[in-house]
Amino acid sequence: MGKTSLIFDLDGLLVNSEDEYFESISNLFAYYNVEYNWSIHATQLGLTRQESNEILINKINKSLKNKCLNVAELDNIRVRFAPKFNNIKLMPGAKEVVESLREIGVTKLFVNDIEVMECRNKYQAVMDRMSLSPNECLVIEDSPRGIYKAIEQNLKVIWIQDQKMKEYFDKNYKDLYENKNVYILELLNEVSMYLF
C-alpha cells in the first residue's frame, strides 16, 4: 500500500476496553433484569454517550413492563456501573504491530483521542492537524461508524473485526464487506504483514 501514516482507533483496538465496556453495560442491563449480549454491544461501537444512551434506553424499555426509563435516569444509573479501567491492557499484538510498522518505514502513527471523537469527522481532524492527505494515510479501525467516517474522507481502512460481534457485522454491514477501500482482518497483528 505504500502509506507512510497510519491512524489507529484506540478504544477496543489498541487497548482492550471493549471487555470493560461490555461488563459495565451488562451489569446495567442486569439491574433491570434485561439480557445484554455481544450483538447489542456491537451497536454501541463508536457512539457518543448520548447516542449510546438512546439505543440502550430503547432496548431496556422494550423489556420493561410497567416502567419507561428516560435519558436522565439512565445516565444516573450508568454512572454507578461505569467501567473502572483499573486493569486495562494493550490488545494482543498492539505493541509488536506499532514497533514493526516503524521498522518497515511507517513514519507517522496517530491515535484518535477523546477530544477528536466529538468533532464532525475525527479522521479529517487528524489529517488537518498533521497536514496529511488521504493518499498518505491508512486508518486502522474496529467500529463500522469509524469506518464510515474514514470512507467519507476517501481513506483506505483496515477493519479489525472483533469476532465476538462478527455475526452482527455480517448481518448489518454488507456494504462494508463490498467496499474496495475496506480490508478486513481478524487480528491486529496481521496488519504489518498485510501492508507490506
- φ/ψ region of 15 (left if φ > 0, alpha if ψ in -120 to 50, else beta) reads beta
Are 112 and 131 in contact by the 8 Å Cβ rule? The answer is no
**Number of helices and strands in the chain (H, E):** 11, 5
Residue 100 CB-density burial (10 A; 0-12 exposed, 13-18 middle, 19+ buried): middle
pLDDT under 50 in the chain at which residues? 114-117
- Burial grade of 18 (CB within 10 A; 0-12, 13-18, 19 or more): buried
Picking from 46, 53, 62, 1, the residue whose alpha carbon sits closest to that of residue 25 is 53
- pLDDT computed for residue 112 by the predictor: 62
Q: What is the pTM of this model?
A: 0.81
> How far is the C-alpha of 114 from the C-alpha of 17, rounded, in Å?
14
pLDDT of residue 114: 45
Q: What is the pLDDT of residue 115?
A: 45
Residue 117 has a pLDDT of 47
CB 147 within 8 A of CB 176: yes
- Specify the pLDDT at position 182: 96
Domain boundaries, the chain: 5-16+89-195, 18-80
C-beta of residue 56 within 8 angstroms of C-beta of residue 25: yes
Q: Which pLDDT tens digit goes with each residue over 130-162?
A: 888 888 888 899 999 889 989 998 999 999 999
Is residue 44 within 8 A of residue 25, CB to CB? The reply is yes
pLDDT for 196 equals: 56
Instruction: Read off the C-alpha cell for 157.
Output: 481502512
**In terms of C-beta density within 10 A (0-12 exposed, 13-18 middle, 19 or more buried), how is residue 123 classed?**
buried
Domain 5-16+89-195: give its CATH architecture. 3-Layer(aba) Sandwich (3.40)
Provide the residue type at 189 as one letter: N
pLDDT (0 to 100) of residue 132: 84
Q: What is the pLDDT of residues 176-196, one digit of tens each?
A: 999 999 999 998 888 877 765
Instruction: Please tell me the predicted confidence (pLDDT) of residue 28.
Output: 93
